[in-house]
Amino acid sequence: MNPKTTPFTIPIVLQPYQHENEQFGHRPDFPTDNQLYFDLRNQPFILVSGGISTLRDAQWTTTRLAGALTSKIAFDKDNTLYVLTSAGLSYSTDRGQTFATCAVPRRGKSSTSFDIEEFTGHNLLDGPPPVLRYTFTAKDEKLFWRRLYDLELLLPEKVNGKLVIGEPILITKQCIGLASHSGIPSSVVSKGSKVHIVWGEATDPKLKLPGLPAYVATYDRITKQLSKPALVGYGAPPNDIHNSPSITMDNKGYLHVLGGTHGHPFPYARSLKPNDAAGGWTEAVFAGENLRQTYIGMVCGPDGTLHSAFRLWKSGEQPFPASSYGTLAYQRKRPGQPWEPPRVLVVPPFSEYSVYYHRLTIDRKGRLFLSYDYWSTHWFYRNDLPGRRRTVLMSPDGGNTWKLLETKDLTT
């Protein structure tokens, strides 16, 4: 069968043992390991097992690389490509054909994870992407989801054609960590000399707080000063590592943050000054009432519209009126308007627990790409058809319509 080539009515209601291939005749003709990113020429790149794949002369080709530490890919104003690998920060000046690598230091034998700045719509990097280092320091034996990490900022620089990693800049010693298997929240966004970092903070369990506090701070590369952290909202419940916040920037430079939650509405706030986390923030408001949201993915469109993808729990509704079930949903906020009600994009074939390992990205034309891989809690279903089922939904019109991606969409 031919793949579905036109937008269709959402949501996709997955059927047991069928999925998109049998339901829509959809067999991805592109790598499905991870989400897509696009360079300044809008050439697509995807991290795959053992390397990075891109579309050249209408064919997908792969360049070998060390194992990636994150599925994110970054590009600067010179169109240099950057990937965090087990060898360090790998970079390519020839659009992914060859790579050099600069070592990124870890801290002793402590468990360490990393994040880099990714393109979310308006943050065109002047140079190498800022790197965040999360170093595990403590676990709470009484609260399962409470962790403590040192969060540090690393700022690579180009020196005589090579990358150099400077000394780490401590942001906080109370970071809850980073949950990035679903949503891939953006933890850092920059413009010019200003680098803006968002994080969720672990708090004293004895304190009665409405949720996990989300903080934002700005580091200025020129003055080498870190601003005082700004509290922008609380994501329920407190001390939950699921609740990673996400940050982006609009076409006027204003910062936008969604606070992470675990089955609660996302709190939203915007900076009062462009490109400045220390100049005040709007009062946090929820993205909706009684929404059971988790795992933020957020980008900003060319016109300043915010786009978010997340898992949304439903209860007592079709097709499972006697149960709860997790859907993959989408929501947007047009400039000057409140958040629109969520739209469900994918309904699972079974009730109970679901996760989609979803990742929302945007290309240089403003088209949305939502990569996802449905996972059911029912072991019999997973074992009957092992392996990946990841595919990609694309919206060419800012979330109005959606279609299953084909390679030919990436050449137009």
**How high is the pLDDT of residue 337?**
98
Report the pLDDT averaged over residues 152-178.
94
Say yes or no to pLDDT of 31 above 90.
Answer: yes
Report the pLDDT averaged over residues 9-14.
91
Contact 158, 128 (CB under 8 A): yes
3-class DSSP state of 21: helix
DSSP per residue, 222-286: TTTEEPPPEEEEEESSSS-TT---EEEE-TT--EEEE---EEEPPEEEEEEETTEEEEEEPPPEE
The structure tokens 């994110």 sit at 72
Q: What is the DSSP letter of 379?
A: H
The span from the CA of 83 to the CA of 379, in Å, is 34
**How high is the pLDDT of residue 204?**
95
The span from the CA of 375 to the CA of 355, in Å, is 5
**How high is the pLDDT of residue 216?**
98
The span from the CA of 183 to the CA of 170, in Å, is 25
**How high is the pLDDT of residue 4?**
55
Structure tokens that stand for 190 in this block: 């920059």
The structure tokens 């891989």 sit at 373
pLDDT in tens, 53-111: 999 998 999 999 999 999 999 999 999 999 999 999 999 999 999 999 999 988 877 78
The alpha carbon of residue 172 and the mean position of all alpha carbons in its chain are separated, in whole angstroms, by: 21
H/E element holding 173?
A: strand 169-175
Which of 104-113, 171-180, 197-206 is least confident? 104-113
**How high is the pLDDT of residue 2?**
47
The pTM of this model reads 0.96
